Structure 1
Amino acid sequence: MKAVALTAALLATATTQSFAQTAQTYPDLPIGIKNGVGVMIGNTIYAGLGTAGQKFYALDLSKTERAWVEIAAFPDPARDQAAAAAVNGKLYVFGGNGKSAPDATTAVFNQVHAYDPATNTWSLLPTRAPREIAGGTAVAQGDRILLFGGVNRNIFDGYFKDIAAAGTDKAKSDAVAHAYFTQRPQDYFFGRDVQAYTPATNTWQSLGVVPFTGRAGAAVSLQGNALAIVNGEMKPGLRTAAAHRGTITESGITWRNLPDLISPASGGVQEGVAGAFTGYSGGALLVAGGANFPGSTAKYGAGTLYAHEGLTKTWHSDVYALRGNRWSIVGQLPQVQGYGMSIQNGNEVILVGGELQGGTSSTKVFSLELNGNELKIKD
């Protein structure tokens, strides 16, 4: 991948405001960002959307004094849970969900946008993902981008339209929620396709359908030709502890099950997590943080489909490492968090922003590095 930094031309055209905290290796974000997107191109991290609205920021790690710089704003309506990856020096953003206009209901988007750091400009590409992406993940492999998971557009959009139609009538809105949440995992039709997009030719390719339930908010990492998918939502409010690894070949992907994620450090049932951070360090696959509804697995196992009803969404700080075929807990994050951005930087996994207990957006940026059994956290 060609190294791209913020050039003098970019800085001349970008918003001039910068946000420096030079005492830190990774300065805090200027605003908290959760449910956004982030990638690394060359030595520069790019982050935006989610609670940043249309704003995007860049952090050049090659500089001695590091500062986040506000760059060109995203050109279309703000959105949460989009997917993004970088190929050949450009950032690509897929889908997400939000409002097309202030008075519109929440819906899933299906456009593809590209950002060029060399010119500090965005463009809307003449294409759409064959399977919409909201709550899914994108990873770069060579000159193409692989996309997996996410909600079903028709079901998701329908829920928000019905909620909007119910208005302030609590009985009607409760009935809509009850009908929506009392379905089996497979009845939400979460994405099971692995899609491949090649920007150079603006073409899509199917890499097949996974042999397990669709996921939203799964931790997805790619190393070489090995694609790992860990946990995530099987349906709204219900996670899974399952993990899988696919070997990518020219003819498709061959899947095998990995061991389930082990019990959390606090003990008890591993509910699985959604919105976890992930990446590779020290020869291990790291999965950190995320959120779930403790008690939902037991309720679902007892036959309750609305498994998270009455339960409290809980964020976590455990850092898990998969080495060989065995999970272990190697440390704790400085704070409970999930739904942020994971950036692979050599042997480090940089965590950018996220959501804290209760839903607050985080500004914190720090990295994880595993050396043997020692987890180093650097901010």
Structure 2
Amino acid sequence: MKKQLLIWGILVFQYAISLAQSVPEYPITQGVSAPFAGFIKDWLIVGGGCNFPHKPAAEGGEKVYYDQCYALNVQSECPQWIPLPSLPCPVAYGCAIETPEGLVCIGGANADSCLTCVFRIQATESPQKFTIQPLPSLPETIDNAAATLLNGCIYLTGGNQQHRQNALYKLDLNTGRDWQKLSAYPGPQRVQPILVHDAHKLYLIGGYQAASDTSESILSHDIVCYLPETDRWEYESDIPLEENGEKRCMAGGSGTQTSTHLILAGGVNYSIFKKALDGKAGKDYLTHEPSWYRFNDDLLCFDFTHKKWTQHPNIPGMARAGGILLLHRHFLYMVCGEIKPGIRTPQITVYPLKKERDFQNNP
């Protein structure tokens, strides 16, 4: 019986994937990586990000950062992107968190500096009108971090912090006070991690620590959890291995959660990325076809209750780094990102899910 349920669950998921659809491509025609992205009601908001518009990165092109912001009503019969007010500055590599009051955008970096600014994009009573309101700034510059919302509080950690710290910060949206510094996560630095929650604790997934003059890079392939009630971190699980037995890297990946599962997508290949970080990738590293880089093209799902993983392989449009994975009305959205180092895409890929039973297929 359990085997039949497993087969049925997989067939339901594959049927959902066969219904894959798309929305209009993002207005910045070459696409962006690491933008702010999230939903305000049925409006998909995307702003900032970066790309190489004039010359490819492989040819020494200059990275450009954007302050443009756009919105798309995904429930419209004929959805079209509309421009929003510009962001306070060009920015990429920040964090965006969906809240009842709007989309909170945190930190990041641009060509001039790393940033501390925090603001919220809000809908107004007027149709198709949005405003940008400032919120308490970060106590230090942070980019390439991860954040999540739990019980009215935004938690932010990982990324490039000053003095290579591992701090965890909390902003209580109910009080509007300044950011509070909490216990640092254990182990090496985690740049470009993923942070989700199960309604009780936080899950910090993956990330990397760059090489130094005295040591090679460290790519984390595990998950550690934070318990807000005790301000304590603990080990949770390793990220599943690749099919060939190699370690899996989620750096550059993205994640979200349902009430029962966390969902991970995208990210770079462990061995290929580590060679690049350690300066061992070769002079032709940026010149290969996208498939050579072996970005993760599957969905990984972790059952919070049963502590079990399921993998849904070979999903078109998920092999992205710097893309943003969102869940809205039982649809997964993979927003922009890069298909290989230096090459972005304007595509926003959408996959319908048959509610949460798609993930309840563990034997």
Tell me which residue corresponds to 1:121.
131
- Tell me how large the CA RMSD over aligned residues is: 2.9
Equivalents in 1 of 2:88, 2:239: separation in Å?
Answer: 39
Unmatched segments (≥5 aa) in structure 1: 1-22, 101-106, 155-188, 300-304
Tell me which residue corresponds to 2:206.
231
- Code of the residue aligned with 1:120 in structure 2: it is F
**How far has the Cα of 1:116 moved from its partner?**
2.6
User: 4+ residue runs of structure 1 moved beyond 6 angstroms?
Assistant: none
Tell me which residue corresponds to 1:246.
226
Unmatched segments (≥5 aa) in structure 2: 1-19, 51-64, 212-216, 287-292
Tell me which residue corresponds to 2:170.
196
Structure 1 residues 152 and 196, CA gap change in structure 2 (3 angstroms)? closer
CA deviation vs aligned residue, 1:2-34 (integer Å, no higher than 9, x gap): xxxxxxxxxxxxxxxxxxxxx955333223121
TM-score (norm 2): 0.73
Equivalents in 2 of 1:25, 1:367: separation in Å?
Answer: 5
Higher RCO by CA contacts (8 Å cutoff, separation 6 or greater): 2
Tell me which residue corresponds to 1:184.
none
Structure 1 residues 306 and 291, CA gap change in structure 2 (3 angstroms)? closer
Tell me which residue corresponds to 1:261.
239
Tell me which residue corresponds to 2:34.
35
Equivalents in 1 of 2:22, 2:348: separation in Å?
Answer: 9
Tell me which residue corresponds to 1:69.
82
Tell me which residue corresponds to 1:109.
115
**How far has the Cα of 1:108 moved from its partner?**
1.1
**How far has the Cα of 1:327 moved from its partner?**
2.7
Equivalents in 2 of 1:24, 1:44: separation in Å?
Answer: 17
- Asked if the contact 2:210/2:277 (under 8 Å) is kept, the reply is no
1:205 is aligned, of 170, 177, 180, to 180
**How far has the Cα of 1:349 moved from its partner?**
3.0
Higher strand share: 1
Tell me which residue corresponds to 1:272.
249
SS of the residue 1:332 aligns to: coil
- Code of the residue aligned with 1:112 in structure 2: it is V
TM-score (norm 1): 0.70
CA deviation vs aligned residue, 1:27-77 (integer Å, no higher than 9, x gap): 33223121111121222221111127111111223323222222111122x
- Asked if the contact 1:296/1:308 (under 8 Å) is kept, the reply is no
- Asked if the contact 2:22/2:350 (under 8 Å) is kept, the reply is no
SS of the residue 1:67 aligns to: coil
Structure 1 residues 308 and 248, CA gap change in structure 2 (3 angstroms)? farther
Equivalents in 1 of 2:221, 2:22: separation in Å?
Answer: 34
Equivalents in 2 of 1:290, 1:222: separation in Å?
Answer: 19
Question: How many residues in Structure 1 have an aligned counterpart in Structure 2?
Answer: 301
Equivalents in 2 of 1:93, 1:318: separation in Å?
Answer: 27
1:330 is aligned, of 296, 308, 312, to 312
